[in-house]
Structure 1
Amino acid sequence: MAKYPRLLWSESKLRDNTRFLNQLFAASVSPIGWTPVSKAVCAHEEIVQVLLAEGAVEIADSRLDNLKRIKSLSGNCRTLLLRLPGLHEVDEVVGYADTSLVSEKVTIAKLSEAAGAAGVFHRIILMVELGDLREGLLPQHVLELGRFILQQKNIDWCGIGTNLTCYGGILPTREKMEQLLDIKDSIARELGHEVSVVSGGNSSSLPLLLRGEMPAGISHLRLGESLLLGRETAKGKLIESMHGDIFTLEAEVIEVQVKGSVPEGERGMDAFGNTPEFEDVGDHTRAILAIGKQDVPIDELEPVNEGIRILGGSSDHMILDVGSSAVQIGDVITFRVNYPVLLQAMTSPYVAKVRTR
């Protein structure tokens, strides 16, 4: 018997999206590659296996636990740690991440020390701040830190990179990418060091490539949302020829009653400390689903059935106005999934993950 709530994912559509990206990058005029990002699916074993089968030679994630899972599935697949390493975890970083993104001198020194103790070289990509104000070194400080990096015996400084859109919503532009390439050139000119990787961002940078505006020399992108949801994240638009419906969420109806639309009695705060407002539409048919805010951000869900409206919920209940839909106890309601829903549903141990064809 099926277990609910559950997140369904289509293996064939995931393969299609992966192949589309492989072909897109292979057809680029200038050499550029991409790394699948598995953090939104918590490096789910079956999904990682599909990526490996479709030719992934490197997979990126922000959590060491997920990198460990990837390494357990393939000793040959390289791993990229997306979140800057914490000092407490440098020994594990050099053990499970082939490459990490860095921006701090003390972290680089600790990584070199840990790599030396392990008898390995650890690859790093130095992140540069280009306006989004998340991680990254200010451009004017790159050469100074670069001199320090080149003195570290067990560090392989393979690249530079940037992150845009995730925090400040700053869009990748050709000018931003050219700024990154100028930094690459200054490293070669002033320090005599050639970096082989210039990582131009995430799924928000993909439109530059699709429009043929990505400058030659940007050699790498880190793609999660475009791979999994078929969207570029600069404007949130579906990419032509990609699937936006690899994932759907299903939850079971556990109550159907005709009730009023405004709570009655003296009101205080709800379970999350809020004082909600309600629209008075009179008596109507309301259904309760066995899923709640502990599982997914319910306000981000979109019912497939256009006659159903999400009213709200608590930690383990979601309440719907089902209108004239013939909803009964035991029915299963299906929802479209966006990035916040995918991220939380994959993280929740209470949501089953089910592969479909």
Structure 2
Amino acid sequence: MILPRIDIDLRKIAHNVQQLKKLYGSKGINIIGVTKVVGGNPIIADVLVKNGIEILADSRISNIIKMRKAGIRAQYLLLRIPALSEAEEVIIHTHISLNSELAVLKKLSEYASRNHIVHKVVLMVELGDLREGIMPSEINTHVKEVLNLEGLALVGIGTNLACFGGISPDAHKMNELSSIVERLEEKFKITLAMVSGGNSANYNWFTSSKDAGRINSLRLGESIFLGREALCRKPIPGLFTDIFTLMAEVIEAKIKPSQPYGEVYQNANGDVPNFKNKGLMNRAVLAIGIQDIIVSGIVPKQNVAILGSSSDHIVIDNTRASLKVGDAVAFDLNYIALLRAFSTPHITKNTIDIYECASIL
């Protein structure tokens, strides 16, 4: 099979979805499956839907189109707030979007009315992480405007934490969000069906809180696919953390000096490297590089060590493994490496289904 490739265990994805639905459902929280980290892969999306995920969220409309064309039946949520220039595509291809800009909401209203569509919107509130979101002091104005826009249905309020500023979605933040929702419902005499408290970083809050307040929805990617919470990257009990394995082929294996020789300048990454002299070393070169993967986000499963990388190559210390040309090195991946792996066409995606058959995309 063509390398490099990423092996995907669909059985373990199904297990994680089932366990997370049971866990969060115990306090009335529905989980939305975030597909951006797997590039909107339709085979994986199908596993999510067949195991009870009703809403799929992605930050790229092209991924949503791919899943819809593959016949994956779900409600589709645009995870990244829409650009003004893509408003028409949002209306045509998605059912729900997260929003924070009135100019964009007005444009969504225009296209929704033109296409005789009622598009659902969730207004995002800024609670300290300083990525997207309406300042709490301005939320009343936005709600009032949206309620008067044709073609739009205000279905919820949400927030995002931990992604940009690393701010924890703790009890204080979640209580604040619940309070905002209750004030809005009372003031405008509305019911907000979706209160989206965040993402995989909400696990610690969830397990330490007696109840979830008004929070009834979370957007989960990392917890589903890597079995971890997203604050400290600790494994969640009962979940698989080894769903994905990256495989890369050895294309050279030779005994060479451990320290480059000659006058040193910047390398391909723009760094001035500094290697210790450890004498002669068994070194191997892999057919994968920073064009394909975030090298700092992968960890070898074999007894080798990454020495460095360039655009198309990773160089490893092969002393203990003694790999030969044609052998493969297996790696675990973190979230950002997984995101890059699914964003490149140069890595084969090999999904293994419940019947242990392989399907290549």
TM-score category (smaller protein): over 0.9
Cα distance in 2, alignment partners of residues 282 and 75 from structure 1: 56
Q: Is the 8 A contact 1:204 1:233 kept in 2?
A: yes
Match of 2:75 in 1: 78
Cα distance in 2, alignment partners of residues 232 and 75 from structure 1: 27
Q: Is the 8 A contact 1:261 1:284 kept in 2?
A: yes
Q: Is the 8 A contact 1:248 1:337 kept in 2?
A: yes
Select which of 307, 311, 315 maps to 1:319. 315
Q: Is the 8 A contact 2:171 2:209 kept in 1?
A: no
Which sits farther off after the overlay, 277-286 or 68-77? Answer: 68-77
Cα distance in 2, alignment partners of residues 265 and 251 from structure 1: 29
Q: Within the alignment, does 1:19 sit opposite 2:18 as a pair?
A: yes
Q: Within the alignment, does 1:296 sit opposite 2:296 as a pair?
A: no
Cα distance in 2, alignment partners of residues 169 and 348 from structure 1: 27
Q: Is the 8 A contact 1:174 1:213 kept in 2?
A: no
**Cα displacement (A) at 1:215:** 2.5
After TM superposition, the structure 1 = structure 2 runs for residues 40-51 of structure 1, keeping only pairs within 5 Å, are 40-51=37-48
Gaps spanning 5+ residues in structure 2: where? 357-361
Q: Within the alignment, does 1:203 sit opposite 2:161 as a pair?
A: no
Select which of 230, 246, 250 maps to 2:247. 250
Moved over 6 A (4+): none
Q: Within the alignment, does 1:263 sit opposite 2:283 as a pair?
A: no
Select which of 265, 274, 278 maps to 2:275. 278
* 2:37 counterpart letter in structure 1: A
Match of 1:66 in 2: 63
Cα distance in 2, alignment partners of residues 239 and 172 from structure 1: 17
Match of 1:163 in 2: 160
Seen in structure 2, the aligned counterparts of structure 1 residues 75 and 330 have a Cα distance that, compared at 3 Å, is: closer
Cα distance in 2, alignment partners of residues 191 and 212 from structure 1: 29
SS in 2 for 1:254: strand
Q: Is the 8 A contact 1:124 1:155 kept in 2?
A: yes
Map Cα deviations across residues 123-154 of structure 1 (whole Å, 9 max, x no partner). 10000000000000110100011111111111
Q: Is the 8 A contact 1:208 1:214 kept in 2?
A: no
* 1:24 counterpart letter in structure 2: L
Cα distance in 2, alignment partners of residues 283 and 224 from structure 1: 44
SS in 2 for 1:207: helix
Match of 1:331 in 2: 327
After TM superposition, the structure 1 = structure 2 runs for residues 184-263 of structure 1, keeping only pairs within 5 Å, are 184-263=181-260
Cα distance in 1, alignment partners of residues 306 and 347 from structure 2: 19
Q: Within the alignment, does 1:54 sit opposite 2:20 as a pair?
A: no
Q: TM-score, normalised by structure 1?
A: 0.96
**CA RMSD in angstroms, aligned pairs only:** 1.2
Q: Within the alignment, does 1:150 sit opposite 2:147 as a pair?
A: yes
Q: Within the alignment, does 1:39 sit opposite 2:39 as a pair?
A: no
SS in 2 for 1:299: helix
**Cα displacement (A) at 1:214:** 4.5
Cα distance in 2, alignment partners of residues 186 and 211 from structure 1: 25
Percent of pairs identical after alignment? 37
Q: Within the alignment, does 1:88 sit opposite 2:70 as a pair?
A: no
Q: TM-score, normalised by structure 2?
A: 0.95
Match of 2:359 in 1: none
Q: Is the 8 A contact 1:174 1:214 kept in 2?
A: no
Gaps spanning 5+ residues in structure 1: where? none
**Cα displacement (A) at 1:213:** 4.1
Cα distance in 1, alignment partners of residues 10 and 294 from structure 2: 24
In the alignment of these two chains, the number of paired residues is 353
Match of 1:348 in 2: 344
**Cα displacement (A) at 1:269:** 1.4
Map Cα deviations across residues 176-202 of structure 1 (whole Å, 9 max, x no partner). 011001111111222222211110000
* 1:326 counterpart letter in structure 2: S
Cα distance in 2, alignment partners of residues 76 and 243 from structure 1: 26
SS in 1 for 2:270: coil
Q: Is the 8 A contact 1:129 1:139 kept in 2?
A: yes
Q: Within the alignment, does 1:7 sit opposite 2:3 as a pair?
A: no
Q: Is the 8 A contact 2:248 2:329 kept in 1?
A: yes
**Cα displacement (A) at 1:324:** 2.4
